[in-house]
Structure 1
Amino acid sequence: MELEKPLKISDLIRQLRQQLDLSQEKFAAKLGVSLRTINRWENGATVPSQMALKLIEKTLEKMGKADKRLVNEYLPKSEQREDS
């Protein structure tokens, strides 16, 4: 019996959107993508590109509501660098 199942990227997108209390349509508008794109991401039909994942991370940081654990676990590590 599996105790803890890792989240799929579709679950991550859904959880982040719900944490922000946004509909798929409003989340899509925030990211500059279509509603259909968000729907496909959440249903697992497609996955966000690396560029889209970076955009999601930046948007969440700007909104100040990013769940650090989820962001650190699922979004690209390259964005977590120190700027001098």
Structure 2
Amino acid sequence: MGLTQEKFAAKIGVTFPTINRWENGRAKPSPLAMEKIMAMLHTLGDRGKALLSKYFAEKELGL
């Protein structure tokens, strides 16, 4: 996506430490955060879908 964790966090309305916890598996995004993440990644087309499947299980995505 070309965003730092800080910029990505700002775009979806969370903090950098929150993004870091998600990436390290210490926490999971809230349903609202998942909606924002999915909306942002869907704008990237296939690349966004690949990122979603890489970082989130199907059950987290509601698939």
* TM-score, length of structure 2 as denominator length: 0.68
- Over aligned residue pairs, what C-alpha RMSD do you find? 2.1
| 1:23-45 superposed Cα distances (whole Å, 9 cap, x missing partner) | 11011011111111101111111
- Corresponding residue SS for 1:45: coil
Query: Which structure dedicates a bigger proportion of its chain to helix?
Result: 2
| Mapped partners of 1:67, 1:45: distance in 2 | 23
Aligned to 1:76: 62
| Mapped partners of 2:28, 2:5: distance in 1 | 15
Runs of 4+ in structure 1 off by over 3 angstroms are: 69-74
Unmatched 5+ stretches in structure 2: none
Higher relative contact order (CA closer than 8 Å, sequence separation 6+): 1
The one of 39, 43, 56 equivalent to 2:20 is: 39
| Mapped partners of 1:69, 1:59: distance in 2 | 13
Count of aligned pairs between the two proteins: 57
Aligned to 2:30: 49
- The structure with the larger Rg is 1
8 A Cα contact 1:28 1:38, kept in partner: yes
Unmatched 5+ stretches in structure 1: 1-19, 78-84
